[in-house]
RNA sequence: GCCGGGAUGGUGAAAUUGGUAGACACGCAAGACUUAAAAUCUUGUGAGGGCAACCUCGUGCGGGUUCAAGUCCCGCUCCUGGCACCA
């Protein structure tokens, strides 16, 4: 019998498809379209391994299925061909990266064609091709020429912005711009020089030049991305990496933060990927507050000695914060608690014979009540004192150190028996000496004393403000200190001379601390007191300002208001340095917080923000974690940036000068002065002699828009013709790994939104639906060498020897059994190796690892195809399990799919091996088997459950084999169903059956439910939920009859015994359950 | 630490809406064909008990809801991916 000749047949059909352009997408705008896209591959020198095609096979199945269903299918492939490996290879060998890249691509295409993908190869693109990167440069120019308008929430042309500037300056405009953008009026603008204007505009452009902190690798002379840096060293080469400020092109992606976030809701993407993007964008809603700084509060050069200052002369309130304290005491007085009011009524107007003041500032605290003459403070405590004992003790200690005695009463005592409390107070007053008796100055402190107003100098000090961002304003009363990042700009200004040395030392260490150290010492608390104090904007208390490197300069404002009771890191810091902790949240409610007390967290946040805005302390603010994306690379093998410099100001080239092609250079290394490789090109200047930009674009530039280029890949006038883009819109199905979640998938959304804003696209998202594929891991095999000998022992005997496990090439191992002959030939030293076998076999050990050359576990699809054929590989990769699951590659089961194809082939042939089909009317059972398969496969493809389709094919073929079915109608329909998965064999059988043309044009068989209709159903019958028997009934059997039959069934009766039947559960076409 | 995903026979896995757990394969065992091997075909194959009919147990662990749980709820364990001093 004629065996299926897969090698010849597969080559034949691959040639047929190419010759007939079977899979070229037409620009027939009348047809419904379907655009399915694979992740853009980087053509590496290692070629494809079996893990790569997993997603490609899945999308190929969808593409072929959709084509058979009558869609105009766009299924292209191309190459993300700029990139580091080729450049690295060029540095090592001097070979031009264009040559290496082109060779690698040739190999990739060959491998891809071997698998029989239905790509429209006419549309292939390569990002390193000038005809492609011309448009990458063009898009860069549009980004440079645009700014982001927050008012209309879209990008606009820069000319609109300059018009605004001419009319109104930059004050009325809501635009995305650099933090340090100065305010200017229209008149200012008109008086700016051209250069000044350009500098200002750079602060608004979406593609802009600015100083950025980057990972600089001096050894490689280049900047590395975060994921190229591992523990402070370059991933490649392991050179040390330092943080360095450099002029870099950046993309103002932060302007799109909110839209990138909101847009996720309408995308059909895997939830984990969306979640990753949400986390990356990191939106937090909160408030920005200003904390006034008490400058040099402890600085002896400005102040009397701390001792003197704390001495309770005529002045008890801390001078520098007097204004603020005064404000707060007044505020507090307006709104006393019930108990405070009872007490005040009892002591006011010298009722006790002593003058009392309430809510009076002492040092940096406000005492509830104070008798200044007798130096007695009365504090009333509520329940919160129990929680805040520590904090209150600190306060008491401070007051004691100022010479005050502190008496505490419970609120409950006041209410219950005020006269008893008064007795105690009077007793205390009588026994303590008066102020005059103590001999300190006799002046009496009053609110009106003009000498207490802060001096102009001090007032200036108060202008220093520390801005903080918080998502939890509700915990404001729990703020007991502040921490600034060591790099914070105010650190120098506020540090007192006493603390100067310690602070400078700390800043120096923190700055030199590599990322690596910071990572490994996460749990170590470190910090230094600046000596400065800030004023709590709500309570008016003085709190210490510290610096600590757990506060990140790059996030928020680089400063935090520390709430140790509610934040772990703040707590660790407070505990380490003995700073106070004040409880403010209990059981989801705010406590101990003045007017916020008693409110649930959410309401407290709202109320606190309201208060903050009303008092002008701060404002509600939305913060994003995402940073602008650095766009420059100090590399050779990337798109040149179409910019030249005049007096240090960047200007765009003219559009007709595009593409700006990569120059030839003598070496692909940075210059001796650390300039990027492009500086080596002597011609790297404009015609007028201006210097061209020397950095190139990053890998993600080309991949951020390539999906649109496939719609119109050869257009020299536009990046895509509008009518073509309008038809193809965006990608209907993108299959790829989730590892691109926060890179490629975010940047391409950003560019698409931008191009949409500017009217170049009619969609604002590039990928409507995406599904993730799991990675295929390697499965390594091990052999065990007896120590010191050239003898290898089989796995299950190895414990009897001292052995060493060695990776062995998985390609010479079959079902974990080593092919000894091949092993002897694998390496010369193996030729005379000896083996200790078990049951005549050498059994290898196995382990799941990354697929890599060094582990000898790389499986090349070409080898699998050589042995089994492309159809088998395609089926097997799908059969392996759900697409999105991570799984090791293991050829153990591949025989099953291979056998299946042979079985399929045999269906079309008689015993003699001749092709033979019958034209008789189709058998009912065969029709049912076929239509069950049609229904299931349709469902599976639409739900991306490819593994179950393969099972379905097997079941169908098994059934048809059993039925000895060789019916033409049935079998040719079956071919149309299997064709998307195993196209070569199906084309061949389709042709042998007398059809012409490609089966991909033969349509999809229509599912007919009539054929799978049953008229009876076999019920599983259970007693108390336990399956006991099966009984078959026709569909129209009434429930009563079934119940009767079931209860009469002796097998069932046996289980019912004599127990009464409590309930009879009957679910039509599902189950029968008798409850006894 | 935070946020995802997962755990089912010797192996890959299936079970779509809570309704017969293990489909379909691999592997293994026995058998047929053959001088033999390969290929192919047939039968068996979750564990335990039993000559058998059949019974008991069984979807990571411990509880719960339900006539019925791999599937739903609560609490854990382990593996895995991402993020991480993010205020």
Task: Kindly report, residue by residue over A124-149, the tens digit of the pLDDT.
Answer: 999 999 999 999 999 999 999 999 99
Torsion of CA A288, A292, A295, A298, to 10 degrees: -100
Q: Smallest CA–C1' separation from A554: which nucleotide?
A: B86
Distances from the Cα of A827 to the Cαs of A723, A820, A836, in angstroms? 60, 12, 19
Q: Which of A600 and A341 is assigned the larger pLDDT?
A: A600
Bridge partner residues of A630 (DSSP)? A250
Provide the H-helix boundaries in A373-417: 384-387, 389-401, 411-416
Q: Who contacts A609 (Cβ-Cβ below 8 Å, separation ≥6)?
A: A287, A473, A620
% chain A with pLDDT above 90: 43
Dist CA A1043 CA A1065 (whole Å): 9
Q: pLDDT for A808-852, tens place per residue?
A: 888 787 767 788 888 888 888 888 888 888 777 787 777 777 777
Dist CA A973 CA A935 (whole Å): 13
- Residue A858, token pair as written in the block: 């790389």
Q: Smallest CA–C1' separation from A1072: which nucleotide?
A: B19
Question: Which pLDDT does position A461 carry in this prediction?
Answer: 44
User: Per-residue pLDDT averaged across A433-453, rounded?
Assistant: 39
Residue A449 has pLDDT above 50, yes or no: no
A853 labeled binding residue: yes
- Residue A841, token pair as written in the block: 């076999």
Covered bases, chain B (protein CB within 7 Å): 3-5, 11-16, 19-21, 23-28, 39-41, 55-56, 67-69, 80-87
Nearest residue to A138 (alpha-carbon basis) of A752, A776, A718, A626: A718
pLDDT tier, A305 (very low <50, low <70, confident <90, very high otherwise): very low
Q: Closest protein residue to B20 using CA and C1' atoms?
A: A1020
Contact A283, A479 (CB under 8 A): no
Cis peptide bond N-terminal to A659, omega within 30: yes
B5 C1' to A945 CA distance, Å: 17
pLDDT tier, A330 (very low <50, low <70, confident <90, very high otherwise): low
Nearest residue to A281 (alpha-carbon basis) of A745, A773, A601: A745
Residue A272 has pLDDT above 70, yes or no: yes
- Strand segments, DSSP code E, in A199-338 are 207-217, 222-224, 229-230, 233-234, 242-251, 283-294
Residue A937 has pLDDT above 80, yes or no: yes
B40 C1' to A963 CA distance, Å: 18
Question: Hunting for tokens 């309770």 — which residue is that?
Answer: A312
B1 C1' to A590 CA distance, Å: 25
Burial class for A303, CB neighbours closer than 10 Å (0-12, 13-18, 19+): middle
Question: Which pLDDT does position A960 carry in this prediction?
Answer: 93
- Strand segments, DSSP code E, in A56-95 are 72-74
Q: Smallest CA–C1' separation from A1070: which nucleotide?
A: B19
B4 C1' to A772 CA distance, Å: 13
B81 C1' to A629 CA distance, Å: 24
Q: Smallest CA–C1' separation from A286: which nucleotide?
A: B87
Q: Which of A201 and A443 is assigned the larger pLDDT?
A: A201
Q: Smallest CA–C1' separation from A1017: which nucleotide?
A: B20
Question: Which pLDDT does position A275 carry in this prediction?
Answer: 86
User: Per-residue pLDDT averaged across A613-634, rounded?
Assistant: 88
% chain A with pLDDT above 70: 88
Instruction: Write out the H or E segment, with its range, that includes residue A986.
Output: helix A983-992
Q: pLDDT for A461-481, tens place per residue?
A: 446 889 999 988 999 999 999
Dist CA A321 CA A362 (whole Å): 11
B2 C1' to A283 CA distance, Å: 15
Q: pLDDT for A354-376, tens place per residue?
A: 778 887 767 666 778 887 777 88
* Sign of the CA dihedral with A662 first, then A664, A667, and A672 last: negative
Q: pLDDT for A27-69, tens place per residue?
A: 889 999 999 999 999 998 888 888 889 999 999 999 999 999 9
Residue A389 has pLDDT above 80, yes or no: no
Q: Closest protein residue to B53 using CA and C1' atoms?
A: A1051
Q: Smallest CA–C1' separation from A1019: which nucleotide?
A: B20
pLDDT tier, A185 (very low <50, low <70, confident <90, very high otherwise): very high
- Residue A723, token pair as written in the block: 């009518």
Torsion of CA A946, A950, A953, A958, to 10 degrees: -160
Distances from the Cα of A816 to the Cαs of A484, A729, A775, A844, in angstroms? 60, 49, 22, 5
Question: Which pLDDT does position A443 carry in this prediction?
Answer: 31
User: Per-residue pLDDT averaged across A627-640, rounded?
Assistant: 91
pLDDT tier, A326 (very low <50, low <70, confident <90, very high otherwise): low
User: Per-residue pLDDT averaged across A848-876, rounded?
Assistant: 87
User: Per-residue pLDDT averaged across A404-423, rounded?
Assistant: 80
Q: pLDDT for A516-526, tens place per residue?
A: 455 455 567 88
B39 C1' to A737 CA distance, Å: 40
**Lowest-pLDDT choice from A91-100, A320-329, A475-484:** A320-329
């Amino acid at each position: 019998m004629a065996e299926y000749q897969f090698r010849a047949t597969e080559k034949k059909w691959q040639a047929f498809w190419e010759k007939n352009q079977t899979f070229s997408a037409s620009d027939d705008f009348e047809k419904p379209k379907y655009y399915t896209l694979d992740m853009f591959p980087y053509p590496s020198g290692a070629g494809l391994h079996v893990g790569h095609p997993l997603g490609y096979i899945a999308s190929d199945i969808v593409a072929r299925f959709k084509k058979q269903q009558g869609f105009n299918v766009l299924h292209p492939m191309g190459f993300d061909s700029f990139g580091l490996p080729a450049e690295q290879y060029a540095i090592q060998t001097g070979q031009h990266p264009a040559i290496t890249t082109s060779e690698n691509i040739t190999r990739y295409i060959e491998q891809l064609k071997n698998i029989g993908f239905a790509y429209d190869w006419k549309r292939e693109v390569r990002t390193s091709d000038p005809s492609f990167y011309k448009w990458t440069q063009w898009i860069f120019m549009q980004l440079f020429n645009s700014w982001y308008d927050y008012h209309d929430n879209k990008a606009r042309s820069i000319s609109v912005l300059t018009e605004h500037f001419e009319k109104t300056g930059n004050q009325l405009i809501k635009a995305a711009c650099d933090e340090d953008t100065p305010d200017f009026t229209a008149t200012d603008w008109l008086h700016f020089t051209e250069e000044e204007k350009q500098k200002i505009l750079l602060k608004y452009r979406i593609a802009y030049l600015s100083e950025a902190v980057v990972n600089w690798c001096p050894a490689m002379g280049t900047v590395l991305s975060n994921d190229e840096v591992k523990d402070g060293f370059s991933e490649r080469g392991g050179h040390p990496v330092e943080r360095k400020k450099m002029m870099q092109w950046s993309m103002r992606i932060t302007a799109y933060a909110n839209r990138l976030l909101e847009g996720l809701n309408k995308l059909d993407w895997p939830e984990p990927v969306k979640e990753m993007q949400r986390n990356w964008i990191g939106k937090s809603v909160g408030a920005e507050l200003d904390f006034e700084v008490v400058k040099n509060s402890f600085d002896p050069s400005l102040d009397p000695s701390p001792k003197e200052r704390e001495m309770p002369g005529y002045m008890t309130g801390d001078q520098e914060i007097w204004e603020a304290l005064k404000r707060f005491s007044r505020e507090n007085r307006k709104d006393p608690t019930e108990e405070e009011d009872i007490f005040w009524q009892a002591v006011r107007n010298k009722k006790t014979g002593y003058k009392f003041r309430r809510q009076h500032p002492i040092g940096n605290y406000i005492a509830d009540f104070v008798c200044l003459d007798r130096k007695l403070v009365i504090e009333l405590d509520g329940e919160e004192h129990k929680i805040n004992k520590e904090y209150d003790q600190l306060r008491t200690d401070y007051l004691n150190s100022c010479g005050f005695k502190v008496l505490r009463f419970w609120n409950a005592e006041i209410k219950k028996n005020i006269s008893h409390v008064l007795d105690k107070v009077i007793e205390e007053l009588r026994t303590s000496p008066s102020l005059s008796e103590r001999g300190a100055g006799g002046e009496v402190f009053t609110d009106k004393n003009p000498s207490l107003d802060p001096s102009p100098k001090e007032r200036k000090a108060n202008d220093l403000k520390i801005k903080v961002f918080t998502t939890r304003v509700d915990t404001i009363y729990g703020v007991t200190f502040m921490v600034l990042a060591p790099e914070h700009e105010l650190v120098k200004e506020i540090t007192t001379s006493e603390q100067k040395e310690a602070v400078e030392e700390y800043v120096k260490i923190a700055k030199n601390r590599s990322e690596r150290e910071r990572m490994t010492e996460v749990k170590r608390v470190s910090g230094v007191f600046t000596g400065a104090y800030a004023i709590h904007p709500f309570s008016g208390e003085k709190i210490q300002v510290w610096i600590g490197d757990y506060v990140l300069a790059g996030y928020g404002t680089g400063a935090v208001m520390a709430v140790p009771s509610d934040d772990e890191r703040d707590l660790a810091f407070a505990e380490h340095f003995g700073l106070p902790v004040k409880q403010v949240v209990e059981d989801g409610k705010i406590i101990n917080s003045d007017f916020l007390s008693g409110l649930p967290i959410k309401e407290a946040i709202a109320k606190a923000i309201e208060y903050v805005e009303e008092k002008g302390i701060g404002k509600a603010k939305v913060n994003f974690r995402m940073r602008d994306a650095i766009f420059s690379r100090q590399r050779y093998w990337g798109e040149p940036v179409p910019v030249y410099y005049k007096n240090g100001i960047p200007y765009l080239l003219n559009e007709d000068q595009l593409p700006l092609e990569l120059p030839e250079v003598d070496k692909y290394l940075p210059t001796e002065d650390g300039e990027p490789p492009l500086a080596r090109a002597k011609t790297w200047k404009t015609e007028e002699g201006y210097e061209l930009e020397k950095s190139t674009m990053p890998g993600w530039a080309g991949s951020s828009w390539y999906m649109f280029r496939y719609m119109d890949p050869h257009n020299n006038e536009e990046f895509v013709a509008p009518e073509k883009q309008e038809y193809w819109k965006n990608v209907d199905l993108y299959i790829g790994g989730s590892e691109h979640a926060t890179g490629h998938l975010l940047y391409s959304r950003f560019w698409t939104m931008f191009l949409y804003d500017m009217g170049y696209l009619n969609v604002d998202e590039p990928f409507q639906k995406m599904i993730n594929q799991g990675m295929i891991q390697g499965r390594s095999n091990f052999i065990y060498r007896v120590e010191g000998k050239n003898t290898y022992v089989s796995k299950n005997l190895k414990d009897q020897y001292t052995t060493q496990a060695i990776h062995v090439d998985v390609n010479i191992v079959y079902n974990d059994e080593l092919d000894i002959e091949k092993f002897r030939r694998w390496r010369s030293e193996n030729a005379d190796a000896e083996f200790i076998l078990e049951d005549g076999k050498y059994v290898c050990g196995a382990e799941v690892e990354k697929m890599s050359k060094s582990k000898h576990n790389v499986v090349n699809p070409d080898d699998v195809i050589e042995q089994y054929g492309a159809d088998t590989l395609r089926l097997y990769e799908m059969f392996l399990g759900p697409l999105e699951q991570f799984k090791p590659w293991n050829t153990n089961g591949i025989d099953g799919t291979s056998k299946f194809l042979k079985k399929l082939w045999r269906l079309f042939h008689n015993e003699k091996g001749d092709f033979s089909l019958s034209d008789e009317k189709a058998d009912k059972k065969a029709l049912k088997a076929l239509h069950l398969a049609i229904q299931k496969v349709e469902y599976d493809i639409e739900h991306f459950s490819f593994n179950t389709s393969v099972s379905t094919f097997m079941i169908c073929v098994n059934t048809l084999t059993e039925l000895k079915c060789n019916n033409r109608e049935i079998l040719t329909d079956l071919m149309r169903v299997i064709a998307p998965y195993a196209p070569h064999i199906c084309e061949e059988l389709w042709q042998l059956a007398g059809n012409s043309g490609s089966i991909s044009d033969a349509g999809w068989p229509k599912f007919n439910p009539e054929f799978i209709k049953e008229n009876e159903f076999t019920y599983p019958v259970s007693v108390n939920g336990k399956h006991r028997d099966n009984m078959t009934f026709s569909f129209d059997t009434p429930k009563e009859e079934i119940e009767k039959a079931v209860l009469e069934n002796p097998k069932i009766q046996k289980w019912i015994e004599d127990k009464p039947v409590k309930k009879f559960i009957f679910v039509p076409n599902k189950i029968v359950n008798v409850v006894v």
